[in-house]
Structure 1
């Protein structure tokens, strides 16, 4: 989808998790900019005034639980598509933040995190893709996290769900390029959203086995919800997403990029993590440069990919 087409016609956006945070702010920004919005949340009745406001601005609001079946998601996508005949942009924003030491996670807790943050978005992507592929246009926006760059202590399981979504995104971005479908991974840091109040702590108290460690200290930050002040403005973050998706302003001519680092704190963490990766690459050069078969008869995956693209 080119910058020109994005600027000359309103896009139809399907956004998950619109009751608070990025979903709410992005939906309102888009509607005020003249775009069409299919807003969703698990329980619309919990935010009646917001639902009414979105509808008054011309959008529609549908109930969507990311842990529901693919068949249910199909019904929601079909209902949303009826209004404007298509979905141009899917924004996977809804998610769950569940924190605790990896050792302490119960099986059901771990499954809930992965079902909500990974399998749910994947099922929704699979549901929307056929119409995008037929039109040979569309944009998939997956909202990740700083935990998708470098998870903090107590955020290992949450980070795993975001890494899974990022890994899948990086893979299917290559699959979908042939159909003119673009994929964008957004990596926000700490923004002025309801994140601190929405985070769930696992059932097992870290003081049982991790008393006095960084795990306990991290969890305590989230227990003292009112003491944390996020350094980033969600409205500015949403404006950045809008410009990058539509190819306008600071996003013009940059449609080929897969990742959008959305805040200075995550920018710095990305630099530091990249440096650690490069240090490890150099430290073990003597190993990875010497694992090939003698004679070099086999092809690398990079060579196979390049041949497929040029075929």
Structure 2
């Protein structure tokens, strides 16, 4: 169960980063097929995570955010954004459509927004949840379920990140991250994650960062200066020029890299920052986890050969015919 402060008063709202989990599942179970040879790795892995989330986290509210196929505002600003990624494997799009069918059968809302990523939807909705005044009923705690560390920038005392464990290459456990957990994992606070990527870049998204600045150096700089803005303001205020050695840290090759990579740092900062003001609005009642079309889900699971997942389906009190009056 999620670590909820005053859990007797608070209810859990789970925001699922659909595409992050779909890709993780696709690579984790790559050889999985139905008896007729149809690839189902992403479908199986996603369903397993979804059922684990419902069973272990026991949310009162839940939704799934998905990426839109159109380019985002980040692609418009930087043509190289995610340009290093291979094209989506041909066997994945049909699986994504099947996953959407299953999510629909569970009566879980799906949020997709042209020009934005699932991260932006989640960032915006988690912000809307946090803006609810303390004491507003129901009191909510937010859990972001994802495999993407970008979400660490969203972590607060009221919003945590839950990362499903991996089975390979090394088995890991499901892990919940609060602000202290992010600091321990990344070396910086959640509010410094964007600046960490601004300095060191992010190879997975082809975010350049400052050439020559790695993770250890980026963490050291943020520990000393706090933000990218304060770092470059120090360089400006102290009139530190390339070749200067008057500053104990900002000197030599490091100063040269920072000076020459200033524009890359600012660009990377913009690319790494999740948009928390995207045009999407949360309707709380629509996201309540209650009834679902169990017979429809069972039929799909049987067709896919998901016998091991059937016993994980929510108990009868969740079924549509039992709680249809709620809708």
More helix by percentage: 1
Specify the structure having the higher radius of gyration (Cα): 2
Is TM-score (shorter-chain normalized) higher than 0.5? no
Please report the TM-score for the alignment, with normalisation by the length of structure 1. Answer: 0.30
